[in-house]
Amino acid sequence: MPSLRYTPPPPLAQFVQCFWYWDGIPAGTHTHERLMPNGEAAVIFNLRDDPIRIYHSDDISRFDTYGHAVVSGARTNYFVIDTAEQERVVGIEFNPGGAFPFFRAPIDEMENASIALTDLWSSMRTAELRERMLSADSIPTIFRILEQDLLAQLARPLEWHPAVAYALHHVCRAPHIATVAALTEKIGLSPRRFIEVFRQQVGLTPKAFCRVRRFQQALNTVHGARQVDWAQVALDCGYYDQPHFIHDFQSFSGMTPSAYLAAATPHLNHVPIV
């Protein structure tokens, strides 16, 4: 069983997209992968002995280590991992804006950052949680351990500010037409207050979140395609024109749209670095 996903029931369902498990080094000749930003936070546990490494996007000979568990904050830039370190890993993938109830630290301080989980939860709690997962008799048991731990360690209520909930719903449903100005008109907050509340709970500004979700819509549109009308993709995904689309795509991914299409794997947000 190389991989498995589990979507928790309420009350976690609104905030946790899934728990996932991967066992086995990905096939292929590449040693590193770039992970595309999606505006969502995640927690990753390495169940092997080696510490987790995150590589510098501009120089993959350099890296930072994070022990056996790392938090990846909401991002607007890609980062690089070593495929050999994905031999036995477990993750919590939060929905957009889903991470903030589980951390006492401000979620906006995690923007575009990787942080050792022991810096956010206690070292003892993190170590005990990992030991329980290592002792589990099955992957579903690991997922139940994570589910129970999250519920037991809530730092804040499982609810968004109404303005944030409204904005997340509309941006995630239609990122190609959502704008900060249109959202602000509907929520009864000043633009400044809306930006403040949204960033505190989602980890990005509304504008940055809208942009990265449009980028994700573009990835979903072209992923797996053999031929692409890039001008039409730009139009369908809400970009002013094709140059604007290409500029945004490169700023998020570090590569052109056509280079992504040529290198794409079955996993939408994983691209090999040979």
Can you give the pLDDT at residue 179?
A: 82
Residue-averaged pLDDT of the chain:
93
Can you give the pLDDT at residue 180?
A: 83
273, with CB counted inside 10 A (0-12, 13-18, 19+), is middle
Can you give the pLDDT at residue 213?
A: 96
Residues 189-226 pLDDT 10s = 999 999 999 999 999 999 999 999 999 999 999 998 88
Q: Which residue has the higher pLDDT, 188 or 112?
A: 112
Flag whether pLDDT at 40 surpasses 70.
Answer: yes
pTM listed for this prediction: 0.93
Peptide bond into 11 cis (omega under 30): yes
**Domain annotation for the chain: domains and CATH numbers:** 3-152 (2.60.120), 162-273 (1.10.10.60)
Can you give the pLDDT at residue 205?
A: 96
Flag whether pLDDT at 174 surpasses 70.
Answer: yes
Residues 70-125 pLDDT 10s = 999 999 999 999 887 777 999 999 999 999 999 999 999 999 999 999 999 999 99
Can you give the pLDDT at residue 87?
A: 79
Percent of the chain residues past pLDDT 70, beyond the cut: 97
Can you give the pLDDT at residue 30?
A: 77
Flag whether pLDDT at 27 surpasses 70.
Answer: no
Amino acid at 113: A
Percent of the chain residues past pLDDT 90, beyond the cut: 80
User: How would you classify residue 233: left for phi > 0, otherwise alpha for psi between -120 and 50, otherwise beta?
Assistant: alpha
Residue with tokens 């992504």: 260
| Per-residue 3-state assignment (H helix, E strand, C coil) for 11-65 | CHHHCEEEEEEEECCCCCCCCEEEECCCCCCEEEEECCCCCCEEEECCEEEEEEE
Can you give the pLDDT at residue 25?
A: 63
